[in-house]
Amino acid sequence: MKRSILLIEDDVLMREFISDYFIQEEWEVQEAENGRIALDKFNAAHFDLIILDIMMPEMDGYTVCRSIRAKSDIPIIIITARSDDEDQLLGFELGADEYVIKPLSPRVLVARAKALLKRKEGTVGRKNEMLVYGELQINRKAHVVNISGVNIDFSPKEYDLLLFLVQNYGKVLSREYILNAVWGYDYLGDLRTVDTHIKKLRAKLGETGRYIVTVVRAGYKFEV
């Protein structure tokens, strides 16, 4: 599955410069030229990483960082030409994970992004190996799902789909987005694949299948 990144930078040449390197490393990149557009995109889709400039029109990076941190622990790398200690401290206080000073090396930025995600995933794996929602329990380490203590058999793709929905708790996910994220962008099937697997998931989950909510004309979300 490709990593997805939201690159928030008002300088179009800088965006293209950074994007090219991440795309070469097979990341999926979405771009935003200001904070308002960035928050709209963040609320509409799933991302694995945020790269965020500080000095932007309409809404500065600190405000964007604060808004994102209020609802998500997604890894955030701040990039800026401002190197003052106070600026860096403010970024970290608002929840940034990394602070990279311009001019920057895109290759180093990609390496930092990979290292940051590896650290984050290790922490999440230790803290959240067991996900519990009512009677539904998911053991991420063992890839085991049980309801009221009874293990439920899922195919690998059914498990991937369930985990993807859970990891995006409360977010409305379009069928197209689910298809691309779980099956991959080169998958040749159509959107009915998602509906079919959702139907199978609900059947196997029994009463807890109601946690997978259909949002009319929009997609699905996982919510207890």
Higher pLDDT among residues 108 and 121, named by residue: 108
3-class SS of residue 192:
helix
Say if residue 25 is in the same domain as residue 69: yes
Say if residue 85 is in the same domain as residue 186: no
pTM for this entry: 0.55
Looking at residue 196, the DSSP 8-state letter turns out to be H
The residue among 79, 102, 122 that closes a domain is 122
Rounded Cα distance, 219 and 203, in Å: 18
The residue among 59, 89, 122 that closes a domain is 122
| Per-residue confidence band for 8, with pLDDT thresholds at 50, 70 and 90 | very high
Say if residue 103 is in the same domain as residue 136: no
Instruction: Give the pLDDT of residue 122.
Output: 53
Query: For the chain, how many structural domains are there in total?
Result: 2
Q: Which domain holds residue 57?
A: 4-122
Helix axes 12-24, 106-127, angle to 10 degrees: 60
CATH number of the CATH domain containing 150: 1.10.10.10
Rounded Cα distance, 76 and 209, in Å: 33
* Of the candidates 159, 224, 158, 167, the residue with the CA atom closest to the CA atom of residue 197: 158
Report pLDDT digits (tens) over 41-81. Answer: 988 888 889 999 988 888 888 899 888 887 777 889 998 88
| Per-residue confidence band for 124, with pLDDT thresholds at 50, 70 and 90 | very low
Tokens of 46: 């799933």
Say if residue 72 is in the same domain as residue 110: yes
Say if residue 52 is in the same domain as residue 141: no
Per-residue burial over 116-132, b if 16 or more Cβ lie within 10 Å, else e, is bbeebeeeeeeeeeeee
Percent of the chain with pLDDT over 90: 35
CATH number of the CATH domain containing 102: 3.40.50.2300
What is the average per-residue pLDDT within 74-103?
Answer: 80
Tokens of 131: 């996900």
Say if residue 9 is in the same domain as residue 115: yes
